[in-house]
Structure 1
Amino acid sequence: MRTHPRRPRNTRKLVMFPAVALALTLMPSVAGPLATPARADPAARVTVTHDPGVLAVSVPATRKTPGYTVDIATDELALTTQRAGEVALSTARGDTGGLRFRSGGHWQHATEVTDWTWKDGVLTLTADTTLDGATVRARLTPTVDRYQLDWDVEGGSPDQLGLAYDLSSGGHWYGHGQAETPQGGPGVNQPWPLDTGEVDHETFGPASYNMIDPFWYTSKSTGLHVDTGDVMDVALNKGGDGLGTFTVESPGTYKATVFVESTPLEVYRDYIGIVGKPSKSDATYQQYAKPLWNSWAQFYTKVDQEKLLDYATDLHDNGLDGHTIQLDDKWESNYGNLTWDPTTFPDPKGMSDKIHDMGFDFGLWVTLWINLDSTNYQYAADHGYLLMDAKDTSKPCEVTWWNGQAGIIDLANPDAKAWYEGNLKKLMDTYDVDGLKFDTRFFDEKCAPREGHQATDYQELGTRLADEFDLQGAGIRVHWNRTAHEAGFVTRQVDKGTGWDSLRAATTQNLAISTIGYPFVESDMIGGSGGQPPPSKDVLVRWAQSASLMPLMYASTSPVDTNDTTTRQKVDYDQETVDLYRQAIETHEKLAPYIWDQVRSTLRTGDPIMRPLFFEFPKDKQSYTVTDEWMLGPAVLAAPKLSTGATRTVHLPPGTWYDVNHGTVIHGPKNLKGYAAPLGVTPAFVNLEAKGAAKAVKALKRADVPAPPS
């Protein structure tokens, strides 16, 4: 390892420069080959200057962008992004290093810049590293609101490349999607902002069961997008170290985009400009307006025909409205057979008919996993319908999931896809099934992609498959590709626990998912679905109340009664539980016209429906750390009670706010301390100055309080 300093090998000395900086001012593209075309303003000029110890790339402000400077330290290759003279984002320095790589099981990083050139709008940097014989070559390409940073390691046989940032330089961090954390995330923990907790996500990749995208943004209005199809190892504040490390488990070129904007919302919009916005909503108005009732948390795998019909009957008779009864796991004879278990479902067509007679649609849970003991497994293996093993492509890939060992349908094989779809459609036609809940991975890293395909293609193939069916508001977890963004699926979370911590995690997780480009979000099943004892009355009611102020309601645990699978005993709730749950459903249905307006707005703009307060109020500093409030569209501020007790503090940003529970008008910014929120009250406020305020007031105002002044 080199420890002594080394002079640059460039004829442009990087030390002992005169006090006056060297400036290369680039004219528009018509001026010559050194010009950098500006993405939004063709008159913008990029300037490269050099002082002792630092190179600076300056991009001036335009009518729509704030401008920025990237300072590149030359004694140790590090990048500091500044906007209006203030630091907005900095790579790590010291032993960590900003541009780092693993070689021979040890981490190394770029050190002294030894050469640089500026040509055709690209700054190319060459740097020594802490590993003898290894060199980093980086290319920085600036445009008006972002810069591309691509870099490679030459020599040293690296197997992973990564960027490391000083988290505090960007303020607070958001994005990522569902985060794995040492505190139980994503099931019971989702830090918001990310840097206030710990994220340790070692298998962050396109085939993940979690809803994730390689995009992060900060309270200082910068953002990072890593363009890769490989698995990453992502950590933010791991062990409280104050670092963000974004490692790609591949020796190939590291490709990143750093966004520099005036607000976090503009950073989000820049990212959506790359990955795409929804071209449609997969869910219908009815599916936004009413809950989906799914059997999973009510019964888990201890379900049968009699129990499902009793469940539907109780909901129907107690006025607990919904658009669908969806039968989840454990209806099949064996996983992957797509045939009924006759011992537990002796008359599935009759069951379907009775559910339809109650006014519900009927849906089924399905998967692309085919267990090794199922009849369909051998048929699929014999016909080449399964993904093959990455280490031995002569045999099918065997993966482990929560219900055993299985193979996965190879959707890149047209015959396999046609066979699987044919089985699904026959099942649906025979038993009058209206839609499906796909619960699966479309690829696994243990498997080999079909010839001519990449691992990332399978998310797109899964997206196209699911798009052929009514997903009934259960949505699907596909991500990390443009098709998934454009498909407009509802996004459901991974299973949550049944306690207060899970309710809070479900809320902040929706904010994380919706602000990486999946706007049609819902929490996990109301009350949780992680195999724990059923939720308490208060948790169930508060969860329903919070879901009523989200885009969709996804329900399972019946407020009439449920089953405790840990004790195998029935749990009865009281009449107040039923009444308050029904009230939440009615609130959501009244709000549906306003929500549907937001759906249509999202199709135009790509903006999320459920979003953090600071997307609407970027100058309101307190909004950046509020964890239990959100905006539903531009007019509704939701502040439901997400913990024990009957009071809470509500933060109102600047604006004129109508309290739907008291009929009062409040001028923000203001903190309402000790706001009364007994079990029957869901705190919510309408921004009277925002678009859609009239519809929101009509939907949410309590009947016994005065209307806002006209």
Structure 2
Amino acid sequence: MKVRRWEGRAEDQFIQLTEGMVPAETLEDPVDSDDFTVEQLGPRHELVTVAPGGHRVALVLPGHPEQRFVGLGARHGLHVDQAGRRVQLGADRAYTGPDCPPDMLDVGGIPQGDYAPVPFVLCSRGWAAWIENDGSGVRFDLGDEVVLSVRSASGPLKVHLFTQRTPAARLRAFLEYTGSLPPVLPEWAYGFWKSRDVYPHQTDAEADWAGHRRHGIALDAIVLDSPWATQYNTWEFNPHQFPDARGYVSKLREDGVRTVVWVAPWVNLDSREGQYPPDDESARLHREPAPNYEPEHFVRGADGEPLVSKWWMGKGSPVDFTSPAAERWWREQAKRVLELGVEGIKADDGEGWYFPDDVQFADGRTGAEFAWGHGLAYRRSMQRALDEVHPGTGVLFGRPGWTGQQAVGVTWGGDQPSDFWSLKTLVAATLNAAASGFSNWSHDVGGYLGERLVSRATKELLARWVQFGCFTPLMQAHSRFEQEAWTYDDELLDLYREHVLLHERLVPYIRAAAATAQRTGLPIIRPLALTDPSDVRGWSIADAYGFGPSFWVAPVLEDGARSVHVDLPRGDWIEVATGRHVHGGGEVDADAPLHRVPLWVRRGALIVTYPAEHVARGLGDTPEHERPLEATLWGEPTCGRAKVRLADGTTIRYDRGEWTVPPDRPVVFEERN
């Protein structure tokens, strides 16, 4: 190991329209030294510390031609393996898909929001590294040398090196040390949620709910995305848009459907550039400063005055969550809405892009030191509000990432265009997010931004995205355009309904995997690198993954494809659609007609689900321990025994033809050979 320093300056450029950061620095020739300290923090855990100095400071580790790397948060790209890349976190995503103009391709693509970065990486050669830093400019150069660096303005370089025997053990050590083990969330957090970019009026939101009921699609929550409030962000329902907000929330809740409201951590002086309903009174409100604009609660600029910036919903100031008074002020406003019966918060925004290096937080840190730590403080505040009003049942749905955010609510993958390139990169991002400790994960089924940003997803794309969403911890559909299943055709409607229902049935299986994640850090979605690290394929597979302990899923990621070529993990597998037994460890071909996602189950696996008729409308309010179950044994287990422990503690055992279950739990058994 050695230390490397550069003099220079940062020249990053933020593209507000796409929330993309273009990283740039002017650096002088580096100077190498060995001025670092090493502290043993525990078995197989070292902390290497380098004092700040110059513009950028790095720890340099030897490279290796066979090193592979996964992690670093949700890395949107066509590859999972990050070897050979230079990644500046928060500035490492660009659209280079089929609709990217050639002149933009020449400069690396259209910069997009790098929503959920994490300064943690797993290496195939027996180590992992976490950079303990919350500033902008954290960089991982994973080439012939491994160069882990920060800008000196963010403080000392602190690199934690984990050398536990397996990648899963190294991930667990990182999550335990940072307090980032993911929680087991309420059942409805793993169900099916629906939203639109804008519900112009309460009647439109009611129509969406009614559409799911009319067409027999299970539903657990409606998300009222932006806008729903009088201005950004007042925590007050707009009476011209929702004339009976309490009644609306209550009516849905009586039908077993929860309400989630969107928010961003800004209070606006001018909301005209945001979204608002088409009526004149709503337009008038959005021209006015938000009535809860209280300057003492905001992040401050270098001049000591509240930071005022343009963001994608207008012009305003970000809340300073390092101030106990500001956090309490914001949380109490949220609680007023939650007390109406709202049970979820969609905590959008919160990434570090909007904080220049010289801004001041109330706890004394600068933007250079804390820009990317702000999102965790924001999420914790919102989770605290939910816990105080709906203890044990409220759910947070957040966008930003960084160290610690794995432990708070569900994270979703941000904004994607509606094309197959974006679906493909989202699957890769999901795998790297999982390798970074995100277990409670979701995405916008169908893509949020639309095809070429001007029209909804095609039928084929929506079908394939629904199938990926089915095998994601939370299945959530959201778009700028009309992407309700019943607006396409009967074939798509049937496919959509069937996959939503399958996802609902899998909730006990998903939550059992979530309980494993809470104990061990092993996420619900499982890249092969975490479950069989000696299989070199696992460090590069970007189009298939483990879903819990027993499924292997291969989403269809090519337009028009009716078959897939899949790397199957070692072991014995059963193809779910055909019952065909397959020996893993190599490549297999599988048919993939439009109505089916290629799926395998490990031979001998015991899969516990809910009966279809029990969740056909959604999860509703039946207490988890009272729900009926179905237990399916897929092939004879190698040792003749199998056992499942659900998140509520229910244990089901199979032992050479004999089943054991709690006496008061209704269970239907099936054996498939």
TM-score in terms of structure 1 length: 0.70
User: Separation in 1 of the partners of 2:608 and 2:303?
Assistant: 63
- 1:101 equivalent to 2:6? Answer yes
Q: Counterpart of 2:102? A: none
Counterpart mapping for 1:618-629 below 5 A = 618-629=533-544
- The one of 215, 230, 233 equivalent to 1:333 is 230
AA of the residue aligned to 1:556:
H
User: Separation in 2 of the partners of 1:700 and 1:310?
Assistant: 41
Q: Counterpart of 2:468? A: 546
Distance of aligned partners of 1:591 and 1:378 in 2 relative to their CA distance in 1, 3 Å threshold = closer
Q: Deviations over 1:408-453 (max 9, x none)?
A: 22233333333333332333435x4333212132875233110456
User: Separation in 2 of the partners of 1:580 and 1:437?
Assistant: 27
Q: 8 Å contact 2:217–2:497 — kept in the other structure?
A: yes
SS of aligned partner of 1:137: coil
User: Separation in 2 of the partners of 1:610 and 1:235?
Assistant: 24
- 1:284 equivalent to 2:199? Answer no
User: Separation in 2 of the partners of 1:147 and 1:424?
Assistant: 41
Distance of aligned partners of 1:498 and 1:382 in 2 relative to their CA distance in 1, 3 Å threshold = closer
SS of aligned partner of 1:384: helix
* 1:167 Cα deviation after fit: 5.8
Distance of aligned partners of 1:422 and 1:545 in 2 relative to their CA distance in 1, 3 Å threshold = same
Distance of aligned partners of 1:199 and 1:539 in 2 relative to their CA distance in 1, 3 Å threshold = farther
Q: Counterpart of 1:441? A: 350
AA of the residue aligned to 1:225:
W
Q: 8 Å contact 1:380–1:386 — kept in the other structure?
A: no
Q: 8 Å contact 1:412–1:453 — kept in the other structure?
A: no
Q: Counterpart of 1:534? A: 456
User: Separation in 2 of the partners of 1:701 and 1:679?
Assistant: 25
AA of the residue aligned to 2:307:
C
5+ long unaligned stretches in structure 1: 1-71, 78-97, 112-126, 128-135, 180-185, 564-569
User: Separation in 1 of the partners of 2:202 and 2:83?
Assistant: 47
Distance of aligned partners of 1:379 and 1:386 in 2 relative to their CA distance in 1, 3 Å threshold = farther
- The one of 533, 543, 547 equivalent to 1:632 is 547
- The one of 171, 174, 177 equivalent to 1:268 is 171
Q: 8 Å contact 1:485–1:517 — kept in the other structure?
A: yes
SS of aligned partner of 1:100: strand
* 1:662 Cα deviation after fit: 0.8
Q: Counterpart of 1:230? A: 135
User: Separation in 1 of the partners of 2:88 and 2:406?
Assistant: 25
5+ long unaligned stretches in structure 2: 10-25, 93-112, 272-284, 611-629, 636-669
* 1:245 Cα deviation after fit: 4.3
Q: Deviations over 1:588-615 (max 9, x none)?
A: 1222221121111222212211110122
User: Separation in 1 of the partners of 2:594 and 2:428?
Assistant: 21
User: Separation in 1 of the partners of 2:593 and 2:182?
Assistant: 41
User: Separation in 1 of the partners of 2:220 and 2:199?
Assistant: 23
SS of aligned partner of 1:195: coil
Q: Counterpart of 2:319? A: 409
Distance of aligned partners of 1:411 and 1:380 in 2 relative to their CA distance in 1, 3 Å threshold = farther
Q: 8 Å contact 2:120–2:436 — kept in the other structure?
A: yes
- The one of 247, 257, 268 equivalent to 2:149 is 247
SS of aligned partner of 1:256: strand
SS of aligned partner of 1:648: strand
Q: Counterpart of 2:49? A: 150
Q: Counterpart of 2:258? A: 361
- The one of 377, 384, 397 equivalent to 1:475 is 397
- The one of 298, 304, 310 equivalent to 1:386 is 298
- The one of 112, 123, 128 equivalent to 1:218 is 123
User: Separation in 2 of the partners of 1:371 and 1:516?
Assistant: 34
- 1:647 equivalent to 2:563? Answer yes
SS of aligned partner of 1:514: helix
Distance of aligned partners of 1:244 and 1:279 in 2 relative to their CA distance in 1, 3 Å threshold = closer
- The one of 338, 346, 352 equivalent to 2:249 is 352
Q: 8 Å contact 1:292–1:325 — kept in the other structure?
A: yes
User: Separation in 2 of the partners of 1:367 and 1:260?
Assistant: 38
* 1:108 Cα deviation after fit: 3.5
Greater shift in the superposed pair: 314-323 or 361-370: 361-370
* 1:177 Cα deviation after fit: 0.8
Counterpart mapping for 1:190-229 below 5 A = 191-195=79-83, 199-201=87-89, 203=91, 210-229=115-134
Q: 8 Å contact 1:381–1:396 — kept in the other structure?
A: no
* 1:175 Cα deviation after fit: 0.8
SS of aligned partner of 2:444: coil
User: Separation in 2 of the partners of 1:614 and 1:693?
Assistant: 23
- 1:139 equivalent to 2:37? Answer yes
The count of residues paired between Structure 1 and Structure 2 equals: 551
Q: Deviations over 1:607-628 (max 9, x none)?
A: 2111101221222222322111
User: Separation in 1 of the partners of 2:492 and 2:291?
Assistant: 49
Q: Counterpart of 1:160? A: 56
SS of aligned partner of 2:584: strand
User: Separation in 2 of the partners of 1:201 and 1:440?
Assistant: 16
Q: Deviations over 1:347-366 (max 9, x none)?
A: 43443344345442222212
Q: 8 Å contact 2:138–2:149 — kept in the other structure?
A: yes
User: Separation in 1 of the partners of 2:430 and 2:119?
Assistant: 16
Q: 8 Å contact 2:571–2:585 — kept in the other structure?
A: yes
* 1:110 Cα deviation after fit: 4.1
Q: 8 Å contact 2:70–2:539 — kept in the other structure?
A: no
AA of the residue aligned to 1:503:
L
Q: 8 Å contact 2:347–2:379 — kept in the other structure?
A: no
Deviation beyond 6 Å, 4+ runs, structure 1: 694-697, 699-702
Greater shift in the superposed pair: 491-500 or 337-346: 337-346
AA of the residue aligned to 1:526:
V
Counterpart mapping for 1:165-176 below 5 A = 168-169=64-65, 171-176=67-72
SS of aligned partner of 2:570: strand
Q: 8 Å contact 1:100–1:163 — kept in the other structure?
A: no
CA RMSD, Structure 1 to Structure 2 (Å)? 3.4
Q: Counterpart of 2:483? A: 562
- 1:505 equivalent to 2:425? Answer yes
User: Separation in 1 of the partners of 2:146 and 2:535?
Assistant: 25
Distance of aligned partners of 1:581 and 1:475 in 2 relative to their CA distance in 1, 3 Å threshold = same
SS of aligned partner of 1:491: strand
Q: Counterpart of 1:68? A: none
Distance of aligned partners of 1:626 and 1:687 in 2 relative to their CA distance in 1, 3 Å threshold = same
Q: 8 Å contact 2:180–2:403 — kept in the other structure?
A: no
Q: Deviations over 1:139-171 (max 9, x none)?
A: 345675344332347xxx612212456765462
Q: Deviations over 1:260-290 (max 9, x none)?
A: 3443223222322322343732x312331x2
- 1:422 equivalent to 2:332? Answer yes
Q: 8 Å contact 1:170–1:218 — kept in the other structure?
A: no
- 1:518 equivalent to 2:438? Answer yes
- The one of 196, 220, 227 equivalent to 1:295 is 196
SS of aligned partner of 1:475: strand
Distance of aligned partners of 1:558 and 1:341 in 2 relative to their CA distance in 1, 3 Å threshold = closer
Distance of aligned partners of 1:149 and 1:595 in 2 relative to their CA distance in 1, 3 Å threshold = same
